[in-house]
Structure formats: C-alpha cells, structure tokens
Structure 1
Amino acid sequence: MNKKKLSFLQIWNMSFGFLGIQFGMALTGGFMSRIFQTLGAEIEDIPILWVAAPLTGLIVQPIIGYMSDRTWSPKWGRRRPYFLIGAILSSLALIIMPHSPTLWVAAGFLWVLDASINISMEPFRALVADKLPSSQRSYGFVIQTLIIGVGTWVASSLPWMVSQFGVSDSAASGIVPMSVKVAFTIGAVVFLLSILYTVFTTKEYPPEDMQAFEEEKAQKNRFVADILENIGNMPTIMKKLGVVQFFSWFAFFTMWSMANPALTEHVFKTPAPVEKEYVMSNPVQKAAFDVENTAFQKSSNEVGSYMGIYGLSSMAFALILVLYTRKRRINRKYIHMGSLILGGLGFILMYFIPSPEYLAISFILIGFAWGSILSMPYAMLSSAVNPTKMGVFMGIFNMFIVIPQIIAALGGINFVSNLLGEETINAMIVAGLSLIIAGLSNFLITEKNAITYQENN
C-alpha cells in the first residue's frame, strides 16, 4: 500500500491517547512501591510484588497484537477498539488502586491495571507503523515519545501538585494518603479522555487485500501455531534489538520498583518507618511513627516530582528529534547508544549526590535514555517487519521488554545489588550499569535500513 505522508496534527491526533497510557504507567511506576511500603511491604519484597506487571505483558501483548491484526470494522477500524476497552478497564483500576485495604489487594490490582494498560498500549505501537510510510516512522515514534514525556512529567508530579492545594499527605498507619488517591483519580480521567480523543480523530487504513484478510481471519485454532511460527521467523534485527531491550528494561524496572525506597532512604534520609518496630498503643511511640511516616510520604512526593523530570527531558529530547527528523535522516543506532549511556551515568550519579536538588541532573540524563527507548528501537524494528503482521510482531517484541522485568522481579535486582552491598541505593547503580551495557550492545546492529532509512526521492 502506498501510504501518504501525514501532517504533524494527524500524527499528534493518532498518538495523543498515549498521554493517558503514560499517566497510568507513570503513576504506577512512581508511586506503586510507595503504596506497597505504606501497606507494610519490606524493601526486599518490593520487586516480587511488581512481578504481575511484566508477567501480564508477556501474556497479553502478543494476544492483543494477534487479535488486532485480525480485526477490522469499517466504523472502529483495527486498533481503536482495543484502545477503548483498555482505557475503560485501566481507568477503573486506577481509581480503585490506592484504596486497597491490604498489600495483596494492591498487588492484585496492579495485575489488573497492567493487563488493561497493555490492551491499550500494544496497538498504539502498531498504529504508527500502520499509518505512516517508512520515511516518517522515526518522526511518528518521536512524536509519540513527546506525548509520553508530557504524561510522565505531569503524572509523576500529581501527588505533589494536589498537596500544594491543601490535600493531605498524612494518613493513619496502613492507609494511602489522600494526595495519592486524588492523583490516581485524576490519572483515570485523563487516561479515558485522551484515548477517546484518538479514537474519534483518527481513521485507519482497511486491509490491503480484503479477501486474503477474511480468509486468514476465518482460519480456526491457529493462534498458538501462528505465534510460535512468527517467533521462529522473527527478523535478525529483532533478535539484536532484543539484547539492547533486555538491559534497557532491566534498568527501568529497577528504577520503577526501587527508586522510591532507595532515594527516600539515601538522599532524603526519611526511610519508611516499620510499624512493628513501634508500640502503637503507646501515645509517644505512635506520635513518633506518625511524624516519620508523614516525612516519608512527603519525601515520596518529592521523589515522584523529581522522577517527572525524566519525562520532561525525554520530551525535550523528542522535540529536538521531531524538528530534526521532519527534513533529515538520523543515525538511529548511535543516537540510541549515546542516550542509553547518558542515562546509565544518571543512575550512577544518584549514589554520589550531596543533596536532593542534584537529583534533577540524574533524571535529566535518564530522560534522554527514556526518550530514545520509546522511539529508536521501534523505528529500527518497523523497517524489517511485514506490515500485515505488525501487531503480532510488536507484541512478540514486547517479550524482550517483559522478560528482563520478570527476571528482575524474581530476584535479579536483589541478587545483583547485594553484590555491591546492603544499601538500597545500590539498586540504582545496578540500573546504571545495565543501561550502559544496553548502550554498548547497539554495536550488534549492522542493518543499514534499520540504522538510517533512506527515502527514495
């Protein structure tokens, strides 16, 4: 199919729903560990409580990709029905999540929320490749990254923002503060509205060969066989990018799960108080616990706000690339390599900073890596994928995102960081080293069309 070039506004409209998806991801990434700690989780148990998220992605994304490839409605298109279903479920989960009464309920809702986010997220990756000619794909994924950066920045700062309007950061033992509850509710509304905007402003191309599409769709009981066949036939570039993705996502999963306990303890000097160490029936000890808990909740707001900076810098990174890629080619390989190495240095710097305000430098550097992770691998991959199987291949590619997260959750973070010592901040050093390895792994990529797309004029 000869796809026409789209305007900036058209690409913006088709990508805008990612604002809501990123609200959901940033709220969970920035504050889920805080919720777990508030409900009584020990620091060493936090990674395993996150295991639901990548496990869900491993299962859901290939299924949704396969199903969306085989879906077509003249009114709703191919990918948009999945955006909408995922948005409704995600919004409900976001509202309920911070009201969880116990740790296991919160972990269960993280499972539900991540499954719902995956239903919306995977088809968005495929939509960019569906709608844009190869010459615009770097541009399209970068615009998507720009929107993701906005979402990360705003959502990560939401608890701090609402607390500035007088919403309380204090709460009784085992209760999530109202500032977090309000922030998650706002996130739910933004999630649904942004998805609706994309659904109603974007049209999709029908299958190029409708007869072949209907014949393939009519085949029964081919799901597992098709998935396995496509895994066996994945392009070489996907395997090479898989190595880069493995270390990239190990690093960011480490940040999402461990940054709050690591930074509140090492940088802010306000670790979460452990309730069992206090005699809560003693008024003096209860008062001491409440003071320390409020300090932890306030510094957690600050950590979230600083984490929002990586969304802001990824937005700036994306904006520069948007302006550049509109008219010029880029070397995706070296941009990705340099960005990941800078992000790795940002993580390592966290160990050495003398006061919290220097966290801004770390997260600016991390934002360069995040902006590149969200755009360059997908732009490189889309050059080598059969357009009729874009959804399922994007879903399979997600394996290289979730498998490292599963390994990290099942003990990888604790094992590697404990090699450096018992301090929680060592997890951030592990994240930094992992990102640097990811950056250097780009030397594996040699496919010229993946590295730099040459448009035929």
Structure 2
Amino acid sequence: MAEKPRQGFWGLWNISFGFFGIQIGFALQNANMSRIFQSLGAELDNLSVLWIAAPLTGLLVQPIVGYFSDKTWLGKLGRRRPYFLAGAILATIALLVMPQSTVLWFSVAMLWILDASINISMEPFRAFVGDMLRKDQHSAGYAVQTAFIGAGAVVGSIFPWVLEQLSVSNVAPDGGIPDTVRYAFWFGGIMFLLSVLWTVFLTEEYSPEEMAAFDGVASEEEAGHTIRALAAKSFTSSFVWIGAGIAVMLAVAQFSLEKEVYLLGALLAGYGAASIGGIMLARGGSSNNMLSSIVGDFSGMPDLMKRLAVVQFFSWSALFIMWINTTPVVAQYVFNSADPQSAGYQEAGNWVGVLFTVYNGVAALAALSLLPWLAGKFGKAKTHIICLLCGAAGYASFFILRDKSLLLISEIGIGIAWASILAMPYAILASSLPQRKLGIYMGLFNIFIVVPQLLVATVMGSIMKAFFPTEPIWTMAFAASVLVIAALAMLRVDAVLPKESALKAKTAS
C-alpha cells in the first residue's frame, strides 16, 4: 500500500478551517437558545424539552450522513465536501432567520433546522481528518481541529457582549430578542458559510482509486462480513429494545413523569424495530442497504469503540447540562435576576457568553500546548482522565463562587476538559477504524454524544421539577458527577490500549 503524503502547516489549517465557522454557529446556539426561549415566554422547567431538537436531529442525521459520505464521489467536489457545503448553506439561512422569531414555536422549529444543518456539515469533518492525514498525523490533525473549534466558539460566544460594549441594545423593548443577539446570529451565518467555503475550495480530496491505494482494497469477504453477521443475529435483542421502550412509556403514565419522557421510550422501541428491519433485509440477501449497514455496524462496533462510547456518553451529558442551565444559574445566583424579562437577566446572558468564551479559548490553547505535553508524559488515556477531572472541579466550583469574575476560574477547568473531549477520543479511535468506513463509524460514535443529550433533555426537567424546582444550581452537581463517572470509565479504555512506551520502542526498532 502507498502512504499518504505528509501534510504541512497549511495543509492541516485548510483541512479544519471550516470548523471555525461551524463552531461560531454552534456556540451562538449553545449560549443563546435558552435565553431566546425564555425571552419568548418559555418556563425554566420547560427548557430541557425545548432543547430536544438539537440532540434528536443529531441522532438521526449523523449516521445517515456518515453512511452516504463514505459512498459519495462528486468529481471535483469530492467525497465529504458536498456535505460541508450543503450544511453550510442551510445553516446560514437558519442563522439569518432565527433572530426574527417573535413566537416560541417558530424559534423551536428554527432550532431543528439549524441543528440538522450543523450536523450535516460537522459530521463529515471528523472523517475528513482521517481521510486526508496519515495515521501518525491523526493526533495533530484533531488537535488543530480542536483549536479551530475553540477559536470559533470564542468568537460566537463573546460576540453579543462585544456588541453591547459598542452600545448595541441588549434589551428588546417588546420583551423579545435583543439586537445584540440578532446581529450576532447574522454575523455567525456569514462566517459559517465563508469558513466552510475556505475548506471546500482550498482542499482536494483523494479519489476513490487513491484511497484504495493508500488503504488497500477490501475483499468481498471483508465487505460482506457486517451483513452476514447481522443476518446471523436473532431477534431477541430487538424485542428487548422494544420492550424497554414500552416499559419507559408505561412508566410515564404510571408515575406521572414529564410527557417528554415518552420520546425516550419511543426511541428505544424505534431502534428495536429498526434492528428487526435490518436483520430481515440482511437475511433476504440485500447486501448494500443503509438500514442493515447502520444497524450491523452499530451492533458490531469494535471493543475499543464500545469502551470509548461509555466515556463519551457521560462526558456529553455534563456538557449538555451546562449549555442548557448556565444562563439561569448565573442569572439567579450571581446577578440575582431570575426574571427573563429583566435587564439583569439579559446582562447575565451576555456574561454567560463571556464565560463560554473563556472555556473555549482555554480549549483552543490547551489543544495545541497542554494536551500534547500531557499525552507525551502520561499517554492519551490518562491525559483524558486528568482533563475530565479538571472539568468536574470546574462544575463543582459553581456551588461556592458567587462573583462573576471568579467564575472565570471555573471555566478554565471546563475548558481543559472540553479540549480533551474534542481531541483525545478521536485521536485514540481514528487509527483503529477501517478507513473505507470512517464516515459511518464516526457517525455512529457521535450517537453517544447525542443520546445523553436526549436523556438530559427528557429526564433532567422531571428531576429538577420534582426535587429542585427553584434551584437550578443543582444541575451543576449532576454535571460534575457524570464527568467523574466518565473519568472512571476511561480506566477501562486505558486497560485495552497498547502501552505507548511499547509502541515507541517498536517504532524505534
């Protein structure tokens, strides 16, 4: 097999620069959607269910986009870049239209469109690094990508605050969306499109023939293994999934849980039904259908990927809790303004943008400095453990810090964790996956990003309403706890990784 050319600085830059704009849009969404929802009349304990749009679209879109991007080739436009471009155009439209919302339902609908569009662009970028780089450059590639994610998030998070300093109105006279948010979303839409166009026009993907020369041509025996393994499965696990979904839905009625928990049950039952369909298609000899491929690859994930999936599940649970609840927490406990229509609440919303700017800025710097140093000293797995514990400490500190400036210290720990979450699992995973199926595997891996978000969106509202109806600070206790669990789960990953000292010795010999 031939070896991919080594990418220099500008090669690494161009491959990931599109993520700068994607993350501007993502940061604007994360920092401002709770504020928009509450400004348009949403109640505090309804925020979680309104956010369901984001993870649900990711759950549906990412595996599908990954599957098709593995099989796409549109001549000069290539394999992954058509998806970058389509998602960027749709997301730009959503970002331009979103701040025109005057009623709650319209802003929720636009969140669905925005998040689906972001996922269309974002998912193939993970596989794009693997496509374009040699295995010995994967860590560098994902570190550069993380730096652009951090830098884009800094710009997106702080932009409303900057506009306020420039005397743009931060309070809408009719109680709707203020001009600071409106103009920030418009700026974000333009930057999203321009950044993705940079990567689309300044990179050239390897053709299917070149990829085959780099990675070898999979034999028909290897290519059909997933379908044959799926065809050999029984329907037992499928019925277990369906039964679990029905049990959850019955529990909603029995224990008077929040109605959004029905969605969780429906998803469990839906996966069971999808797996039955995939098995039946595989048994019928359909060797090239999307459903069987996705179900087969999901059920047959490599052991390392399964262990990393557990870590991702708990890590992203903490992040989603933070994105939903930081604004109401800071408004109530730091600015003493729980009323979304008050000037103090809107000031708190802008300060949350500053806090998010800090953790993303720390992530950008840590990705290029701290993470490589820690990884060289302790290895990738232990580095991730250390960083996750830093994040847990950051969340826990919200309980004792009541000064807005001191909260910047909290964001340093969260930023270190964020850098590692964006880089280390992918650096560990990318080199162990078959390159011809990198898109679908990355899409499936991202399920363990969106499923915990769905759980938070469906369950957290019920927990808070039942136990802490007026005390959102307890969401930060949940966030700290699940990051500790993620760090403990990372020990299982470390146990199956080849020792990096042994790998270095082998390379030297």
Q: TM-score, normalised by structure 1?
A: 0.90
Structure 1 stretches of 4+ moved >6 Å: 210-213, 450-453
Give the structure 2 partner of residue 447 of structure 1: 496
Moved more, 336-345 or 220-229: 220-229
Matched, 1:87 2:136: no
Secondary structure of residue in 1 paired with 2:472:
coil
Secondary structure of residue in 1 paired with 2:507:
coil
2:305 to 215, 238, 247: 238
Secondary structure of residue in 2 paired with 1:318:
helix
2:407 to 350, 359, 364: 359
Secondary structure of residue in 2 paired with 1:20:
helix
Give the structure 2 partner of residue 383 of structure 1: 431
Shift of 1:422: 4.2
Give the structure 2 partner of residue 121 of structure 1: 122
Give the structure 1 partner of residue 473 of structure 2: 425
Q: Which amino acid aligns with 1:269?
A: N
CA contact (8 A) 1:270 1:296 kept: yes
Distance 1:369 1:347 in 2: 11
Shift of 1:383: 2.2
Show CA shifts across 1:153-203 (max 9, x none).
111001010111111012134410011000011111110110001111111
Query: For the structure 1 residues 409 and 422, does the alpha-carbon distance in structure 2 shift closer, same or farther, using more than 3 Å as the test?
Result: same
CA contact (8 A) 2:390 2:414 kept: yes
Show CA shifts across 1:19-68 (max 9, x none).
01101110010010000000011110001100011010010000100111
Query: For the structure 1 residues 204 and 456, does the alpha-carbon distance in structure 2 shift closer, same or farther, using more than 3 Å as the test?
Result: farther
Give the structure 1 partner of residue 169 of structure 2: 168
1:315 to 332, 349, 364: 364
Distance 1:73 1:28 in 2: 31
Matched, 1:259 2:326: yes
Shift of 1:354: 3.0
Q: Which amino acid aligns with 1:425?
A: I
1:229 to 296, 313, 317: 296
Give the structure 2 partner of residue 332 of structure 1: 380
Q: Which amino acid aligns with 1:119?
A: I
Q: Which amino acid aligns with 1:197?
A: W
Distance 2:374 2:384 in 1: 15
Unaligned runs of 5+ in 2: 224-285
CA contact (8 A) 1:37 1:272 kept: no
Query: For the structure 1 residues 318 and 252, does the alpha-carbon distance in structure 2 shift closer, same or farther, using more than 3 Å as the test?
Result: same
Matched, 1:305 2:354: yes
Q: Which amino acid aligns with 1:230?
A: D
Show CA shifts across 1:126-150 (max 9, x none).
0111111111111110111111111
Distance 2:190 2:499 in 1: 38
Secondary structure of residue in 1 paired with 2:336:
coil
Q: Which amino acid aligns with 1:234?
A: M
Distance 2:52 2:343 in 1: 28
Q: Which amino acid aligns with 2:306?
A: K
Distance 1:87 1:146 in 2: 20
Query: For the structure 1 residues 223 and 50, does the alpha-carbon distance in structure 2 shift closer, same or farther, using more than 3 Å as the test?
Result: same
CA contact (8 A) 1:97 1:106 kept: yes
Q: Which amino acid aligns with 2:300?
A: N
Give the structure 2 partner of residue 277 of structure 1: none
Q: Which amino acid aligns with 2:358?
A: I
CA contact (8 A) 1:381 1:450 kept: no
Give the structure 1 partner of residue 483 of structure 2: 435
CA contact (8 A) 2:37 2:47 kept: yes
Show CA shifts across 1:196-250 (max 9, x none).
011111111112349979x99xx88611011111112211111101111111111
Give the structure 1 partner of residue 457 of structure 2: 409
Identity, % of aligned positions: 43
Shift of 1:348: 0.8
Distance 1:348 1:323 in 2: 26
Give the structure 2 partner of residue 279 of structure 1: none
Distance 1:384 1:220 in 2: 24
Q: TM-score, normalised by structure 2?
A: 0.81
Query: For the structure 1 residues 298 and 422, does the alpha-carbon distance in structure 2 shift closer, same or farther, using more than 3 Å as the test?
Result: closer
Give the structure 2 partner of residue 394 of structure 1: 442
* CA RMSD between the two structures: 2.4
Distance 1:352 1:361 in 2: 12
Moved more, 430-439 or 52-61: 430-439
Query: For the structure 1 residues 322 and 432, does the alpha-carbon distance in structure 2 shift closer, same or farther, using more than 3 Å as the test?
Result: closer
CA contact (8 A) 2:99 2:177 kept: yes
Q: Which amino acid aligns with 2:463?
A: F
